[in-house]
Amino acid sequence: MRVLVTGGAGFIGSHAADRCLSDGHQVAVLDNLRSGSRSQVDPRAEFLELDTRDSRLESAIAGFRPEAILHFAAQIDVRVSCKDPIFDAEENILATLRLVEAGLANGLKHFVFASSGGAIYGEAAGPQSEGHPEVPINPYGVAKLAVDKYLHAYAVQRGLASCSLRFSNVYGPRQGAKGEAGVIAVFCKRLRDGLAPMVNGDGLQTRDFVYAPDLAEAASLVLAQRATGVYNLSTGRETSILDVARALCLHAGVDPAGIQHAPAIAGEQRRSVLDASKAGRKLGWKPATPLSAGMGGTYRWFEQNREVQ
């Protein structure tokens, strides 16, 4: 199958592109390299250095004629979305619609969207299923939910098979530590650079951490089954930020007693955890990587890639 992976030089997208190649698909990666790296693109994949807002997008799509698109390219910083919601909407809503339209004009059959769990569902009282009320509280979450709804409309109006994957907190090799990066990547970089982890507030806030290569496995199953609908992808287990910091200190051979604390971030979610049982039942997917093993692999990757900031 011809599969286009947008954001395929970035963190999650590069893992998904690698898995598509392993599955025998013909892969093209589309990335503007604003945050991704050309070195993370397998040479077997066709590479298109292009922004999804670029006027050349339609001709690039016409040249490859993807049967399926895995759409990971996005503006991912919640703070940017709050500061400039128009820019966020252009990047995360309008660019996605242009991509879908260009795909449909060139034989697209299946569109898979990297959505979000926590940003759509809000504060968690327990594991949140796909039927949980959708109450995004920032423009980033609103944009992700809007695309989910647009894809449903495309399915009804134009017969496009589409699937929205709502991730919990993703971590793993190839994740950068700049901007609003994942806390595991931020802690790994600090430890690699000889600094103690800096925990905001008491550190008892919890997150549901899922390993990026496990998400690539989910994308593989979605493509193989031409799955449609909305799926949470997570471990279903909460881990406190403080426990993450302590575990990473041990992986780095550092005394956890040195962990530092900064003031709490106003408005930060205290709990976030998703129920991914639907993906288990319908896709046959389950997360394979224990958190300790995944954190160890991520820290080793930072040690081996000291240029990563």
Check the CA dihedral 59-72-2-228 and report its sign. Answer: negative
Contact, 36 vs 53, CB < 8 A? no
Task: Give the separation between CA 272 and CA 196, rounded to whole angstroms.
Answer: 25
- The token duo for 302 is 């930072």
Segment holding 4, helix H or strand E:
strand 2-6
Three-state secondary-structure class, residue 111: strand
Catalytic residue among 121, 140, 154, 171: 140
- The token duo for 24 is 């025998």
Note if 171 is an active site residue: no
Task: Give the separation between CA 214 and CA 281, rounded to whole angstroms.
Answer: 16
Give DSSP secondary structure letters for 20-45.
HHHTT-EEEEEE--SSS-GGGS-TTS
> What values do phi and psi take at 34, rounded to 5?
-65, -40
Q: Which amino acid is at 30?
A: L
Task: Give the separation between CA 61 and CA 106, rounded to whole angstroms.
Answer: 7
Q: How many CB atoms lie within 10 A of CB 38?
A: 11
Task: Give the separation between CA 232 and CA 210, rounded to whole angstroms.
Answer: 11
Which positions are annotated as active-site residues?
A: 140
